Structure 1
């Protein structure tokens, strides 16, 4: 465990009362200063709210880290069109588990943030696009929306301010590509979820060809605390360019997986100390800082600051802060093959580099894992990944290429052993490398 109390390292804000028996109710939310930020925001001019959020330094928590206030500022004013706010709750990135727990335990934080954001961008209609498989979350979210309507936080003339906001909860049919904001908009309009050509960007022509802001759940849910407690309080956490608190999803071969809310810039070493470390008797081999679509890192990167700049300097991306940790019993080739199969399955097929590239990556990765490949195939998968990276219609192609590039960079020898040993060195039933991997085999079968 950590040598200092966890409360000195962690910063529970969104997760402050998740352990309350009725954390999702309006009564509990009000007991923890709920909707106080909304009252302050409604007393401010819309442009002042945008400037305040912009000055706080809040960056999008959906992966890209784009400044939230700046995104709101892009909405044209006086254009005579309706403006829309769309909340992206289609959490589909492998290893990511923050928005769904947040909605399940504290949905009113998102609802309050939605009303504040609608006031800021002059919108009267907001949408939550939720991943449809999480039915318990959908039911709890619907219940929270009903409570908010009944209490006057949604609907007509909110808190006597003259602001009207309608909130629609939409359940998606389950497609990874719908996490991409323009594919999400097409799906919300009733069309097949596929990325749109940009420009025009959603801020100009988004939902129903009207100015639209698309934000992540955690991004919007963080706004009420910023308004209520102050931008200086928010900036007192994290780093200069990546201020504030955020939710880290810790999973894999760790003693205590879960969501850990901490200031940006905390390290994986600190999070592992707080959570009890890797599972007993094992050590960290590789990990992802932001889900499987971000380049993997190794135990050499335990002290990399987990903010946008620190992880970027280490050669990866912070992404959704999905920290998947794998110990020495894990075959890198097998893990990357499974990720690649996922991306091939979830490719929408709109563009050739992604549609064809991910298919052929799967074929080659399966051959390498089974010991049926040649050394030339290692260069071939790198070449195919290069033909996808930066050349696909959306970022799905980049995400599929990332595990290939990074695993070859750090674990090429392991790939080569699959080729020369005619099988996986972590599988005694298939491998001819037993003598070289006795320890690994014993740990796999322990």
Structure 2
């Protein structure tokens, strides 16, 4: 195997022979000297070749390089403080063209997001997007570490379902042999099933699908949902506290691993939030938003996007905090399986988590008592027969439990202050995008 060194490791290596591989980023082909900037997945480096006075085959190869060509470079690593790019350069001794690129790239720095998404594999070569993917990896790694430290099990629930998990309105229906199936909107029913199976505490990071024709900065038809469910809780407060820990640990890990690079490429100083996050009942949130001069237009009582931004602005001004839990949602805007308050059955033991003015999570304590659950199904105008397989979970003993679902891409988008979810996705899927 080729003893290739990642460019990002070069500053820590001693001067001497080295081999790298990467894409030609820029070429300065001068009369007396040639400079090539080579980029790989870890960074960029300057490669220098003094052009001999006579004809030279290697100089001709360098002159023929096009941007994006993938090359293998062999030369001598040299530390030099005068080199602006990380204080190192490679003095070229040999160059092999592995794969030549077409001369004209279909995208540029000022290309629109839609066209950049058409050529996403080229777009992702940008240093800031490479960093974005590494940030996402750090977040997921840290969450898994936290869950495993607390004895959670990882599950992989099916994405083909014989019946809806949530709302018929957002379902993708497809042919399935002699019948029909649905793409899963959520692992909700299955992660609750895991509680009744005795798994205790579970998590899943996986795709979900929503047939929602929304063209907003934060919606997608396929996205990665981060789900967890835990048994033996006293209330939704237990779930909220665990989610606080997950987010604080992940943001701290990102700051530790990538903070300087994020500052350099995004101009952001990552702020690790203090705990506990502020908590505001939804009814009180409406009063606060109205006091700021905005009347939420939604008839069902939920906050709209502007309402979320207003309550987030209030929390930032009053508490200096980017996060806020909105709690105690009315039963009419929550699913039938959310537990209701004993002293006020019109309210649920549920929450939304707002970060920088955008909702990233819905969580709750679930109703585990079959007789109560059946009443709540009927109260929602649903049929018991259609939910038979789900209700069976609760007929053989069910612990108290609760959990949440969170959008991974929204977390990345908000952490890096990206303008929309399309920028934060590896490959975005929306109502008008199925390729690449």
TM-score, normalised relative to structure 2: 0.29
Higher strand fraction (1 or 2): 2
Larger RCO: 1 or 2 (CA < 8 Å, sep 6+):
1
Larger Rg: 2
TM-score, normalised relative to structure 1: 0.28
